């Protein structure tokens, strides 16, 4: 699960219709130098980053106790890193912040200031507070880049050693790469015949799927990727796939009132690929592992130089 610190995360969640749970908790969770992290702040961040509403009610309390120290530590790290940036004397240009604000406005709100204001109102934030959070998030990314990413070096020797110890982690699962066109009953035989005619004329399967298919993968050209057919498709489709060779497609199939055309793109038997085939993935895994270790050491160093006191909280 990816955790994002800062009320920007809560605001972004609201923009997509996921409202943070209300939080009215009293007390202090931690002291960091001259700053105080309240229990209420931690709980608001917890609800913004972990969707507890989907859990059974009897599990919520246990998850809150599990996630609370995680969220509290992220907030402590945030304060320490921002403090280190301030102590460095660096200044983030306003043009950089404004550009990021406009990017978020365009990407998450379609450029609509009214939608942004509504989301901020729901989150209990002013626009100035939000822009401050945007600035801080940019600082955090810049500091991590400077103190962590730039200092991580991955040698070929480390890549080979990691692969030797974790080769099974890069194993390919067996499966069939499937593309599927599904014509709903409203379209009927006529629409299915039109789709089949386009395929016979040489039009790419994915283009025909985008134009005619009515199932959930239509926008991706009917591409299901590598799957276990028996676990994903009706028996008629499974039977057709079993008769096809890689690269072949079926004729029109009858599937419970729908018409289907299926393509067997490729077959994967399942294997551990040689290092050369997955070098980039292994290198990324090594870089990620070293980055996490360097980040931990960096933040621990910041903590040793700071006054940090945790307060025992009973949830």
Please give the model's pTM, rounded to 2 decimal places. 0.66
Question: What is the predicted pLDDT for the residue at 44?
Answer: 87
Give percent helix, percent strand, percent coil of the chain, each to the nearest 5.
Answer: 60, 15, 25
Cα–Cα distance between 198 and 183 in angstroms, integer? 14
123: closest CA among 42, 39, 30, 45?
45
The number of C-alpha atoms within 13 Å of 266 and in the hemisphere containing its C-beta is 7
Question: What is the predicted pLDDT for the residue at 2?
Answer: 34
User: Would you say 263 and 179 are in contact if contact means Cβ atoms under 8 Å apart?
Assistant: yes
Question: What is the predicted pLDDT for the residue at 187?
Answer: 85
Question: What is the predicted pLDDT for the residue at 205?
Answer: 96
| Burial class of residue 92, CB neighbours in 10 A (0-12, 13-18, 19+) | middle
User: Would you say 267 and 177 are in contact if contact means Cβ atoms under 8 Å apart?
Assistant: yes
Residue 141 dihedral angles phi and psi, to the nearest 5°: -65, -40
Cα–Cα distance between 81 and 87 in angstroms, integer? 10
User: Would you say 77 and 143 are in contact if contact means Cβ atoms under 8 Å apart?
Assistant: no
Name the token pair of 143. Answer: 């500091």
The number of C-alpha atoms within 13 Å of 285 and in the hemisphere containing its C-beta is 18
Q: What sign does the dihedral 106-214-227-198 (CA atoms) show?
A: negative
Q: Which residues pair with 246 in a beta bridge?
A: none
Question: What is the predicted pLDDT for the residue at 57?
Answer: 81
Cα–Cα distance between 108 and 116 in angstroms, integer? 9
Q: How many of the other CB atoms lie within 10 Å of CB of 263? A: 24
Cα–Cα distance between 166 and 154 in angstroms, integer? 16
Query: How would you write the pLDDT of the chain (315 residues) with one tens digit per residue?
Result: 333 333 334 333 333 333 344 445 679 999 999 999 999 999 988 888 888 777 788 888 888 889 999 999 999 999 999 999 999 999 999 999 999 999 999 999 999 999 999 999 988 889 999 999 999 999 999 999 999 999 999 999 999 999 999 999 999 888 999 999 999 998 889 999 999 999 999 999 999 999 999 999 999 999 999 999 999 999 999 999 999 999 999 999 999 999 999 999 999 888 899 999 999 999 999 999 999 999 999 999 999 999 999 998 777
User: pLDDT, tens digit, for every residue of 192-244?
Assistant: 999 999 999 999 999 999 999 999 999 999 999 999 999 999 999 999 999 99
Mean of pLDDT over the chain: 89
CA 162 to chain centre: 25
Q: Which residues pair with 266 in a beta bridge?
A: 177
115: closest CA among 17, 41, 246?
17
User: pLDDT, tens digit, for every residue of 18-49?
Assistant: 334 444 567 999 999 999 999 999 998 888 88
Question: What is the predicted pLDDT for the residue at 24?
Answer: 52
């Amino acid at each position: 699960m990816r955790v994002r610190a800062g009320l920007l995360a809560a605001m972004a969640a609201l923009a997509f219709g996921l409202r943070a749970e209300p939080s009215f908790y009293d007390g202090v969770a931690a002291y960091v130098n001259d700053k105080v992290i309240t229990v209420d702040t931690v709980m608001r961040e917890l609800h913004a980053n972990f969707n507890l509403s989907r859990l059974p009610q009897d599990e919520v309390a246990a998850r809150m106790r599990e996630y609370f120290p995680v969220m509290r530590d992220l907030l402590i790290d945030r304060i320490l890193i921002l403090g280190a940036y301030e102590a460095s004397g660096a200044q983030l240009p306003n043009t950089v912040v404004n550009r990021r604000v406009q990017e978020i406005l365009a990407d998450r709100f379609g450029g609509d200031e009214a939608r942004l204001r509504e989301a901020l109102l729901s989150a209990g934030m002013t626009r100035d507070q939000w822009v401050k959070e945007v600035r801080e998030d940019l600082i955090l990314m810049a500091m991590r880049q400077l103190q962590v990413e730039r200092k991580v070096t991955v040698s070929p020797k480390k890549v080979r050693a990691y692969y030797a110890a974790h080769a099974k982690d890069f194993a390919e699962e067996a499966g069939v790469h499937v593309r599927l066109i599904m014509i709903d009953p409203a379209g009927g035989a006529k629409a299915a015949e039109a789709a089949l005619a386009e395929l016979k004329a040489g039009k790419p399967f994915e283009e025909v799927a985008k134009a005619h298919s009515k199932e959930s993968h239509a926008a991706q050209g009917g591409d299901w990727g590598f799957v276990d057919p028996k676990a994903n498709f009706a028996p008629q489709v499974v039977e057709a796939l079993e008769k096809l060779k890689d690269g072949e497609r079926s004729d029109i199939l009858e599937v419970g009132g729908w018409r289907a055309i299926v393509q067997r793109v490729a077959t994967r038997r399942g294997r551990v690929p040689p290092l050369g085939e997955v070098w980039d993935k292994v290198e990324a895994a090594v870089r990620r592992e070293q980055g996490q270790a360097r980040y931990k050491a960096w933040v621990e160093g910041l903590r040793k130089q700071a006054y940090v006191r945790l307060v025992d909280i009973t949830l």
